[in-house]
Structure formats: structure tokens, C-alpha cells
Structure 1
């Protein structure tokens, strides 16, 4: 297929976690709401039948914000911001705990709805997907409206869609008209719509690269596009400088991958306070058990078994260590994962307090594939010469 004939959409749910919570608590619509609290921040039913909601100013700890409503974002509160810092900006914002079970449910609902219209989908996260629209007969705006309506009918939630010739541009465009927006561009629109944007709008340019580009006098995508490739190669690696150059010109040949195999499945938790390996043994054991249980649930839901179990420890001085063990058989149950994780823990000197614990399962294989292989290996098949 010719590159210029491609129509790739990026669909991004609007403030997804917060929007799911507003379905549950519609009385909070229009208010600044922050998601990222703990179980004790769950709304409490009062004697008069009304719900009491926690406020961000009441939060104490080292947690970070998972997401926030657009009203909270208007106050300067954004995802990944520390709770204590956010409380200074929006002390009266409503604080709700995270409910990943509900978010996964709505994630599946919206993806199923989109697949009924455009089945060529690349799952890019719990709240976003890429969609290849190239082979569909309807025009882009008609398709976007149909998809948005299908998502709303299935979930009651809104989404924003960018449609362009490639994934890179569509990712940028889905963010241009939020919330509940549609942006459709072709390559000729790049100078007017893409180049004026800051370089950080390109997915793949992080804070470090943004800072380095700024030191070179490059802050917009237009300024990046005007730089010679040879200049970029002086300051960045050959491969990355080529990518920067092409990205600034809207070039991206990546296909929509309708099936993506994960290399690993992991979970981690940052403790509200640093935990001592001996004095806080019960708390650490509970955290380990919770992580292993959740990973086992992830493996079951996605249909995988794993053979390599790893741990990640971050100490109070921010020093981070990892250890892993590869088993002789594939596993997916929480007890086996926990046993392997404890074997890894025995290989680490636990003398300082811990601020983070993580568990990872890798060397993955589909459970169904292994079951079939085991059946064939154990079956007494007749010789058929």
C-alpha cells in the first residue's frame, strides 16, 4: 500500500480513569477530581444518605496522581505529579482511589465497540489504540463520527481521534482538540498544524531530549525540521538523530500491529514510607503477596505463562537492584511466583530501608500453545507410515 494512501487513526479516551469515576459519581461532574488515592479515600456513606468525598488537602504520603479531570488540570494538576505538590495547587479537589478493575472493564468495552467498525486495531494501552482505516470505504470524518458514537454507546464516555497518514502524526493529532475532538490532517498540513507545536508533542521525545534540544536553540517542531541531519548527528546518536529528523517532517512507516506480544508482565509499588526489612517485615510480605496475586491475575487474563521471575528493589537512597531466576517450567499462579520472588530476595543484602518493590514475569508463552504441546508430547499417537 502506498504510504500516502494510508489512513491511520489514534483514539485516546478523554481523562479515562476520571471519566469512569464520573459515571459512578455523576454529582462530581464539573468539579476538579484527582484519581490516585488509597482505599481509605473511597467515598463514605453518611447517615443522611449522602456521600462524603475526601479532599486532596487531606492526603499525606508519597503517592502520585494517576489522572485528573480537565477542571483539575486547569489548576495545574497533571498525571504523575506528586500528591503533596498537587494539594498545594488544588487543595479542594476531590480525591478518589484507583480502581483498575473498573478501568479494564471499560477499556475492553470501548475496544470491542471500535473493532465492530474497524477491526485492524493495535492495542497501545488501557485508554488508547491505533486503527488502520485504509481499507474501509467511508471517508475519514464519517468513520471518526461512527467510531466515537459506538464508543459512547458502549461506555457513556467520550474519546478524541486523530486521523493522518501515520501513527506518529495521529498520536499528536488526537491531543489537539481534546476533549471529544476529531482532527484529520494530511502531509500538506504539517507546516501549519504540526510545526508550530513544541518538540515534546512528538511521542518519543522525553524531558531529557527536550532539554538538550532547547540548549541547541530548538524548541518547536519547525525548528527541529529546519536543522540539518548532520548537525543532529553531532549531538545525538546516528539512529536517534535520523529518527528526530524524520519525525520532525512527519515521516513514520510503522504499520499498525494487530497483535503485539509482550516481553514481560510486571507490577510495582512505591511505599507511602520507607519500610525496614526486619521491623516492617509484615508490611513487605503483604506487599509482595499483593503484587504476585495481581501479576497472576494479569497472566490469566492475557493467557500467558512465564518462566523467568524477577524482583526490583529501590532503597531509601534511591539505589536500585534487580535479580531474577529462570525456572525449568512455566508458571502463572501467585504461589509459584511468590516462591520464585523470595528466592531472588535471598540474593540481595537487605540492610537499608526500601521505598519500592517490583515483580516481573518474563520468558512468556501462550498457555494454550503450551497445553497443546504437552498433550501432543504425552499422547500415544499411532504410527502411520
Structure 2
């Protein structure tokens, strides 16, 4: 009996953060816009009713690009690039600060819109999801169009969807016709649509593996599909070599994980300048408290409490130090989290300046039987006011 093919969709929001900002500032549509940096000023309304925006050429600091519009990408500005370097490529581009509260809001909206049509969803982050369409009766193209329209109605934003027999192919497809794309793929389409692509288009082939394959003369997915198994095993080992050959043939049996429990919830921030625990005590105290409050808000919004409180510091030489503290009872209380995180900080060398501070809550559980540890640990914090 012939096995019935699955219908798996991968939905990817188009330039998500930048698109959310364009809803707020529609006059920027069609212009190169870069999102990034925490010290960037919000646009200022001028006397003539127009807004004055920061320009990339005026930025000074070590922030990085979070995302950019397609017009900025055409100038060579991409995610994770340093803002100072980006300014050399696109000095006149508009620069906006990140606003994660807004992005999370629109993320919830688009996922709710999709779930109203196709509830079997695997959440892959703030701007992408997998959707299982296999058990729905409607035509695939019609279903995908309904989902795209529902997302636009709910958010005012566009998305790109790829539909294929599995997650690996669907993710590749969602990127083929961006922005606002819709790509349907069958196994018969693989040689024509997938094989000509670079091997790095396969999710799971990272930079190092990509370079190794290039050195072996494997440049396209077709090259990989036709590579000798022994050659791949010699350079990648038996397990990864077998996966590479399956992936090149479009084979992927992974199920959609429609519900997963997070292991931890965290917040962290990279400073615009290096800070010192003693000399910058007041600034750090405010940052530290804000991180704890945000983690507590995230816990409550997602319906969790946690028992293990942790901190993360990255020094100026990029060394990372972490410390954990386990509470007797799980909590989602900001004050309790701050007190326990303070205990962690007491066990960290604070003589050097550092560039990043993070707070994490782990050992998560649902709060139905949990006790609130809000009165636990009253000792003085290193950054206490």
C-alpha cells in the first residue's frame, strides 16, 4: 500500500521586526531600515508634523543588526552584522531601536490567526512556525492562501509559506519566493527546485560543515545527493553522513512537536559600554532589577514557576561565568528571583568590567501545586539600592 504523503507547512514572517516597525512608521516603506542597538533614540515628532529618524551613519557603539528591511539587505546589511560596519555600507539607512514587547505582541497575533484555521502547530520562535495540514480536507493551495490572509488580517503583515511532505523541505521552500511567497513542493519537484540550491540551504548544515563540503567539491544539494557514501563517512562519520544523504534526497521523518515544555526562561542584556559592579552600582542595580521583573512577567504569562535561579556574566574578554541557586519552593515572584540571583552574584568575581548580564529561571513546573517563596532569602544584594 502506498504511504500517504504528509502536508507540512513552514510559515516564516517576512522581515518580521522591520515589518512591525513599518506598521508604526509607514512613511519608511520602501526605504532601507535597520533595527538594532539598545541606545538608539526613538523617532522624534517635529514641529512640521514629520518625524526625525536616526541615521546609521550617526551611530557610535558596538551594537549589532537585529534585522533589516529588504531594501537594506540589498545594500549588504544583514542580521548579526555590527552596526558600525553596516554604516559603511548604508550610511543613510534609517536606524531604529528594537522593541521586543511589540514583536511578541504581533507574534501572538499571527499564531492565533493560524491556529484558528490549522491548530496543529510547532512553535519555532517569534517569527516562524510549522503547521501540519495533513488531516485537513481543503486543497493545499487554498489552505495556504487562507492562512496567509488570516495572518495579514490579524497583523497587517505578510508571511511566506512553503508546503512539502516534511519539515526539512517545507523550511527550504518558505524561503524560495520571499517576500509574501507561497511555494508548494512534491517529491517529483525535488530535482528541479531543491537540487540546484547551495548545500547550506539545508537546515542542519552549518558553516563548518558547509566549508568542509565545499572543499570536497560538494557545492549544491544535487552534488550532495550524488556524493559517494564512503567519502562522506570518511569526513563526517557514519551517522551525520547518513543524515546528509537523506536530507539531500528530501527525506525527513521528524514529527511536528505541537507542544513542548521549556526547560528554562531567561532574559539578558548586552551593555552599550562595559560596566563595573562597584563604579556603576546604580546603573547595574536598575538593569538587574529590570531583568528579574521581565523574567517574572515571562513566567506568569507562560504559566510557569521555577526553582533554580541563575545568572550569567560575560566579561570584556568574552569569558562567560554562570552561577545557580536553588530555592526550597518554586516561584514566579520578581522579588524572590532578584534575591536568589543576588546570592548567585555573591559567588562571582566582580573586580573586572563586564559587557553582559543575564538572569535565568530553570527547573520549571506548572504552579498548581507550587508554593510561593516570596518571603525567602532577605540577605543584602551586591547591587542593592
- TM-score, L = length of structure 1: 0.92
- Residues 239 and 261 (structure 1), Cα distance of their counterparts in 2 relative to 1, 3 Å cut: farther
Specify the alignment match of 1:107 in structure 2: 107
Correspondence 1:12-91 to 2 at 5 A: 12-38=12-38, 40-91=40-91
8 Å contact kept, 1:44–1:52: yes
Name the counterpart of 1:367. 367
Partner of 2:293: 293
| Alpha carbons of structure 1 residues 233 and 324: separation in structure 2 relative to 1, 3 Å | farther
- Matched-pair contact (CA < 8 Å) for 2:38–2:272: no
Report how far residue 213 of structure 1 moved: 2.2
Runs of 4+ in 1 over 4 A off after TM superposition: 1-4
Alpha-carbon offset, residue 317 of structure 1: 1.1
Instruction: Give the secondary structure class of the aligned counterpart of 1:66.
Output: strand
**1:186 match:** 186
Q: Does 1:255 align with 2:234?
A: no
Retained in 1: the 8 A contact 2:40–2:96?
A: no
Secondary structure of the structure 2 residue equivalent to 1:252: coil
Counterpart of 1:316? 316
Distance 1:115 1:36, change over 3 A: same
Q: 2:276 — aligned with what? A: 276
Deviation at 1:319, TM superposition (A): 1.3
Report deviation, 1:160: 0.3
In 2, Cα distance between equivalents of 1:129 and 1:30 = 27
Does the aligned pair in 2 maintain the 1:62–1:271 contact within 8 Å?
A: no
TM-score normalised to the size of structure 2?
0.92
Deviation at 1:9, TM superposition (A): 0.2
Q: Secondary structure, in 3 states, of the residue corresponding to 1:75?
A: coil
Structure 1 CA distance, aligned partners of 2:259 and 2:128?
15
How far is the alpha carbon of 1:141 from its aligned partner?
0.8
- Determine the C-alpha separation between the residues in 1 that align with 2:9 and 2:320: 39
8 A contact 1:303–1:368 mirrored in 2: no
The number of equivalent residue pairs is 371
CA distance in 2, matches of 1:152, 1:61: 36
- Where 2:124 maps in the other structure, the secondary structure is strand
Compute the displacement of 1:322 (Å). 1.5
Shift of 1:208: 2.1
Contact 1:4 1:165 in 2 (8 A): no
CA distance in 2, matches of 1:268, 1:110: 25
8 A Cα contact 2:40 2:95, kept in partner: no
CA gap of 1:42–1:114, structure 2 versus 1, over 3 A, is: same
Once the two structures are TM-superposed, the CA of residue 277 in structure 1 deviates from its matched residue by: 2.6
User: Which residue of the partner structure matches residue 216 of structure 2?
Assistant: 216
What's the secondary structure of 2:130's corresponding residue? strand
Residue 358 of structure 2 is matched in structure 1 by 358
Instruction: Report the Cα offset of residue 98 of structure 1.
Output: 1.2
1:242 aligned onto 2:242: yes
Residue 237 of structure 1 deviates from its aligned partner by 4.2
**Matched residue SS, 1:163:** strand
Offset at residue 254 of structure 1 (A): 1.2
Please name the residue that 1:377 is paired with: none
Query: What's the offset of the Cα at 1:125?
Result: 1.0
Counterparts in 2 of 1:3 and 1:307: CA distance versus 1, 3 Å: farther
Contact 1:3–1:165 (Cα < 8 Å) also in 2:
no
Tell me the residue number matched to 1:146. 146
Gaps in structure 1 of 5+ consecutive residues? 372-385
Instruction: Name 2:127's counterpart in structure 1.
Output: 127
Q: Cα gap change, 1:28/1:223 in structure 2, threshold over 3 Å: closer, same or farther? A: same
1:6 paired residue number: 6
> Compared with structure 1, are the counterparts of its residues 198 and 328 closer, same or farther at alpha carbon in structure 2 (3 Å cutoff)?
same
